[in-house]
Every structure is written in structure tokens, then in C-alpha cells.
Amino acid sequence: MLSVHTSPLHQPGTGDAGGMNVYIVELSKRLAELGTEVEIFTRATASELPPTVELAPGVLVRHVTAGPYEGLIKEDLPAQLCAFTHSVLRTEAGHRPGHYDVVHSHYWLSGQVGWLAADRWGVPLVHTMHTMAKVKNASLATGDKPEPAARIIGESQVVEAAHRLIANTDEEAEQLASYYGARLDQLAVVHPGVNLEVFRPATASPTGPVGDAVSDPRATGESVREIRARLGLPLDAVVLLFAGRIQPLKAPDVLVRAVAHLLDEAPELRERLVVPIVGGPSGSGMARPEALHKLAAQLGVCDVVRFQPPVGQEQLADWYRAATALVMPSYSESFGLVALEAQACGTPVVAAAVGGLPVAVRDGETGFLVSGHDPASWARVLRRFVDNPELGARMGAAAARHASAFGWEAAARATADVYADTIERARFTTGQVTVATAR
């Protein structure tokens, strides 16, 4: 596996680390459990990092020196692809011929490396886009910077070179075909998963509305009441959570504006409303890391909005369990792993009706899908959780059931099938490998 611009060892929610990091880590672990050994090449971001780290039995992370360890942003990395590719090829040269059976690249930068490595080794290239420039540029947040032409060209090259393209949803597969000319025989749809051992509902409590949301055999043993007390959240509050990277694409400002709208309409809610924003600046949000804080101040909601640094998965699961609802106003999401994680914790999701979120969230059953990004529209939907305390409990139970069907084991088996099918067909062809669609 190739992950050039972000390491699977990095904390999601910081810098460029996010859902793709979780995807690579969880998929690799489950593939290893199925008997597929995985080596992940990623760029070293500190001089003290060891050359290799065992992420899990059967999963090895290789740190590649390519450019300065610190100070490089994602946009600087195309200039380091030659150095990265050299290290990947050099590592393979130290093994017996045929050491690697397949190359799976993640994001277009890795696809550029994988293109050459797969060709050099005579093995298939499987690629997962995660995000696409043309899709992002078609739905930019106001004032956000469009993805450059160089990325669009690079993505087009990777699509042409890849033997197989794994899409998260049918819609993403259609976008690969319509925006980039991907062939039907290249496309395979595999839904991502969620770690059901970490993301579990809270235990139902016999008293009060808080903690009554879910009675589930996977429950943690702690009630929402106990978790809120530990996180310093009011026991009777309506908690509207944002979790993720703070950047225009993820649109946390829409939530802040919606909350201001709610309080303008019903000032009495100020005593009952808490809006934690868990995450750190990323992408184009790095240019103005203080922007969201300033917006909260300008709108007079600093007493309601609480900024929290990124946290590990175990603590993130507590934030999900403590929330009345998770709010995802993103302009673009290839899938939205955060939505699955929250639902697995028994928390409903209010999400933008974009990308893979209509697959991750069942509108009206496990949460609500909102069209557009008008704060007033979002406020109207969020108000439903304020006016009907039982709504979160009912939807939370349905959400936990829905998410339980998205374990990573199923995603790993489907991905392993894609690998096996691609490798098998490659044995009977020369030059360009052709494969059949697998779903």
C-alpha cells in the first residue's frame, strides 16, 4: 500500500490526517487477519522515526525519506514523488523477485508512485481516490481555493493506468466514469467499514432522558450520563457535535451559523445547548486557523461552542456517545466514515446530502440529510432534537443497528476479492490488464 501524503500512524483530525488514515489502518489490519501481508509505504515526517514500524501482526509501515521531514504541505509533495518512488523501488529490489503481488495506492499522489512501481514489477495497480479534484471543485465552499489543474491531470493519469479502481459508493464509481473516463471493467464498489469494537453504544440508563438512547448487546457498560460527567458536559444539555478536520470543505462554519440562528429564534436555549467542535485545522483551513473562533465570537456563541483538540479513537467514541447528534455539513464526502462511527455509538447524524453520506445515513431513520448549506435550514432540522428529546433516542437505536452492518471485516473480504480477481486475470493477459466489475 502507498500513502504518500499522510501516515497511517498520524492522529486523525490533525493536519492532513483524516478518514483515509482510518481507512488504511483498519483495512490493513483486517486484510492481515485474512492472511494478506501488507506493507505500507509513507513519507517520514521526523528524523527520529524508525525505518519500519509493525502496525499490527502482518502489517508493516515503512517510513520513506522524501524531502525535508517538516515544513512540507500536501501541495509541495509532487516535487518529492521521484525521491519517494526511488525508495519504494529500492526496497523492492532487496527482496526476491515477485515479493509484492499487488500495489494498492491511496489518493492521487500515491497513484503516481504506484503507476511506476506496478509497471516496473509487472503487478496490477489497484487505486482508491478517496477524494477527487473535479468533484471537489464542482461543490466548493464559499471562498475556498479550487484544486489545481496539476492534480486533475495527475488523477486522470492514475485512472488511465490503474487496473482496478475501488470506489466507496455507486455514486463515486459513476463520478470516476463521468469525470475521468474510467471504464466499467475498472470499477469495483466496496463500502468502507467501522471498528465495531471501539465504536459502541453507551449502556441504557434507567433514569432520565440522558442515557436512555440505546439498549444494545455491544454496549460499553457506561451510560451517557456517566460519559458526559467525565467529559465535563451538562447532563441535561442538547449536545450538537462536530468531529473532523477544520477546513471549509467540512463546513463547521455552517453549524456555528445554524446555532446562532437557533439562539436568535429561541434565546432560552442558550442554557441548554452545547456545541463541541473536536478537531484541528487542515487543508485550506491552515491559512486561517483562527477563523472559526472569530466567527463564533462575531455571532455571539462563544459560550455555547467549545473547541476541543483532536483525540484518539477511544476518546472520540466517548464524544459520539455523549452527543445528542453528530452534525456533518460537508460540501463533499467520498463516504463519511465519521457518520458511521457516530451511528455505531448509537448517535444519530445530521448530514449534508452529498457524496456517500446518503449511503452512510438513512434519512428520517438514523438521522437527517439536509440539502444545501443554508444555516436557517440546518437550524430547523437541529431544532427537532431540541423540541423532541425522544427523537435522539429513537434514531440512535436505529443508527446503531444500521452501522452494525458496516464492519471492516466485510470491507476487507470484498477488497481481498478484488485483489485476487485482478491478479488472476493478470496471469492470462499481457500489457494492459482487463478485469470484470465486482460488487
Annotated binding site: 5, 11-12, 16-21, 74, 107, 131, 151, 245, 250, 311, 320-321, 323, 333, 341, 347
Q: How many CB atoms lie within 10 A of CB 26?
A: 23
User: 3-class secondary structure for 22-76?
Assistant: HHHHHHHHHHHHCCCCEEEEEECCCCCCCCEEEEECCEEEEEECCCCCCCCCHHH
Q: Name the grid cell of 125.
A: 495497480
Q: Name the grid cell of 423.
A: 491478479
Backbone angles phi, psi at 38, to 5 degrees: -125, 130
Burial of 74 (C-beta count, 10 Å sphere; 0-12/13-18/19+): middle
> Which residue is listed with cell 456545541?
275
Beta-carbon contacts of residue 333 (< 8 Å; ≥ 6 apart):
351, 352, 354, 355, 356, 357
Q: How many CB atoms lie within 10 A of CB 257?
A: 22
For residue 146, give the DSSP letter: P
User: 3-class secondary structure for 378-399?
Assistant: HHHHHHHHHHCHHHHHHHHHHH
Give which of 244, 251, 280, 245 is closest to 377, Cα–Cα.
251
Asked whether 236 and 205 are in contact (CB, 8 A), the reply is no
Asked whether 269 and 263 are in contact (CB, 8 A), the reply is yes
CA-only gyration radius of the chain, Å: 22
Backbone angles phi, psi at 105, to 5 degrees: -100, 150
Binding site, annotated residues for UDP-N-acetyl-alpha-D-glucosamine: 11-12, 19, 245, 250, 311, 333, 341
Binding site, annotated residues for 1D-myo-inositol 3-phosphate: 5, 16-21, 74, 107, 131, 151
Asked whether 249 and 331 are in contact (CB, 8 A), the reply is yes
The HSE-up count of residue 357 (CA atoms within 13 Å, CB side) is 26
> Which residue is listed with cell 491559512?
287
Dihedral in degrees, nearest 10, Cα atoms 364, 369, 372, 376: 60
Binding site, annotated residues for Mg(2+): 320-321, 323, 347
The CA distances from residue 13 to 177, 193, 215, 291, 327, in Å, are 30, 18, 30, 17, 15
Amino acid (one-letter) located at 367: G
Q: Give the three-state DSSP class for 202.
A: coil
Helix (H) / strand (E) element for 187: namely: strand 187-189
